[in-house]
């Protein structure tokens, strides 16, 4: 009896119950912060074209201008054979997802450095930054699709059910972009070299992907290597399904999906590993 009385206050004082720190799963954290992701995405979009005369037209202009330049150079001078498809729409249909990719990566790699003010002042899971940076670029993509629709009417391209393949293709691309953004944004925090590498990287990457030329130009023996780049399968897939009504190359698409998911997992893991030191590094 005496022992009980003695022990009780000690044990209750030293072993006070604390809410257990539960293992949080990536998707659950994301779901809990979905409104924040949405708010930050909206801020990105709203802020981007404010105080510019052309405003949101800039989002349309970039892929269009590129298409026009490449139409002149590749189609008229280099005389690249694109089969039955007129070169402008041939290039534009791939240029759209590519612009999304390149824009997402360059915005994404800067997302942590650019939000240092928030990172050092307020806590919430940092993955909301890369995610909303990439999401913010989907608006540009959606606007571009409207131009694509006009071009398709003009060039009398018939849509088939095959074009629904665009949805899984873009999901694969989104995963790949997220994975890349997780890696680039966190590395950029430690080594600002990333910032200078980005324009070069996207430029080289563009020529390494089937945007301004058809995939048929790639020699057979290099094709396996060439298709390790997920963007190759995705861009070729978009072109085939939307313009030609054909199925994408499933085998290569499988590789693209696998590579993308691997990047996403590794990128996220690396991001979370570095996350505790973000505020100290900036």
Partner 1 sequence: MKAISVENVSKKFILAHDRPKNLADLAQGKLLRRQREEFWALKDVAFDVEQGEALGIIGHNGAGKSTMLKLLTKIMFPTQGRIRTRGRLSALIEVGAGFHPEMSGRENIFLNGSILGMSQKEIASKFDEIVAFAELEKFIDTPVKRYSSGMYARLGFAVAAHVDPEILIVDEVLSVGDLAFQERCTKRMQELRESSRTVLFVSHNMSTIVSLCNRVVLLENGCVKMIGDAQTAVKAYRESLARRSTPSIAPDQPGSKASERKSLIIADMELLNHETDWTLRSGDPLHLRLRYSADGKLLSPRIGVHILENNGNTVAHFSNAARTTPPDLSGHGICDLLIDSMPLTPGTYLVVAKASDTHGTIMYDTGFTSRELVVLPPADEPERGTSRFGVLWLNSAWEYPDERCHTTVECGDTL
Distance between CA atoms of residues 60 and 121, nearest Å: 36
279 binds partner 1 (CB under 8 A): yes
| List 76, 120, 203, 216, residue binding partner 1 (CB under 8 A) | 120
Residue 232's closest CA among 243, 221, 242, 223? Answer: 223
Residue found by looking up tokens 């799963």 in the block: 25
Of 237-256, which residues contact partner 1 (CB under 8 A)?
none
Q: Which of 2, 3, 10, 18 binds partner 1 (CB under 8 A)?
A: 18
Please report whether residue 53 would count as binding partner 1 according to CB under 8 A: no
Judged by CB under 8 A, which stretch of 121-129, 166-174, 181-189, 257-265 contacts partner 1? Answer: 121-129
CB nearer to partner 1: give 191 or 225: 191
Whole-angstrom distance, CA of residue 34 vs CA of residue 205? 32
Residue 269 CB, shortest distance to partner 1, in Å, is 18
Question: Can you state the angle between helices 166-190 and 230-239, rounded to 10 degrees?
Answer: 150
* Axis crossing angle, helix 87-109 with helix 128-136, rounded to the nearest 10: 150
Residue 10 is a binding residue for partner 1 (CB under 8 A): no
Report CA-CA distances (Å) from 188 to 98, 106, 134, 278: 22, 11, 16, 11
**30-49 binders of partner 1 (CB under 8 A):** 35-36, 38-40, 42-43, 46-47
Residues that bind partner 1 (CB under 8 A): 16, 18-19, 35-36, 38-40, 42-43, 46-47, 50-51, 115, 117-124, 276, 279-280
């Amino acid at each position: 009896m005496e022992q009980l009385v003695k022990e009780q206050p000690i044990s209750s004082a030293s072993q006070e119950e604390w809410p257990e720190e539960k293992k949080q799963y990536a998707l659950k954290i994301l779901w809990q912060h979905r409104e924040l992701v949405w708010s930050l995405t909206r801020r990105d979009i709203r802020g981007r074209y404010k105080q510019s005369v052309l405003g949101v037209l800039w989002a349309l202009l970039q892929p269009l201008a590129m298409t026009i330049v490449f139409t002149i150079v590749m189609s008229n001078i280099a005389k690249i054979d694109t089969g039955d498809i007129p070169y402008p729409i041939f290039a534009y249909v791939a240029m759209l997802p590519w612009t999304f990719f390149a824009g997402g990566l360059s915005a994404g790699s800067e997302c942590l450095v650019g939000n240092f003010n928030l990172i050092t002042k307020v806590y919430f899971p940092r993955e909301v930054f890369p995610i909303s940076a990439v999401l913010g670029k989907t608006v540009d993509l959606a606007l571009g699709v409207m131009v694509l629709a006009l071009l398709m009417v003009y060039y009398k391209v018939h849509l088939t059910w095959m074009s629904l393949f665009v949805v899984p293709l873009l999901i694969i691309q989104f995963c790949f972009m997220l994975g890349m953004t997780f890696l680039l944004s966190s590395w950029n925090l430690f080594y600002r070299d990333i910032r200078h590498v980005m324009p070069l990287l996207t430029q080289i990457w563009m020529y390494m992907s089937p945007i301004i030329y058809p995939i048929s130009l790639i020699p057979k023996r290099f094709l396996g290597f060439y298709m390790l780049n997920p963007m190759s399968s995705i861009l070729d897939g978009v072109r085939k399904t939307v313009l030609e009504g054909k199925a994408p190359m499933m085998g290569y698409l499988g590789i693209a999906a696998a590579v993308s998911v691997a990047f996403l997992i590794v990128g996220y893991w690396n991001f979370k590993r570095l996350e505790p030191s973000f505020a100290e590094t900036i």
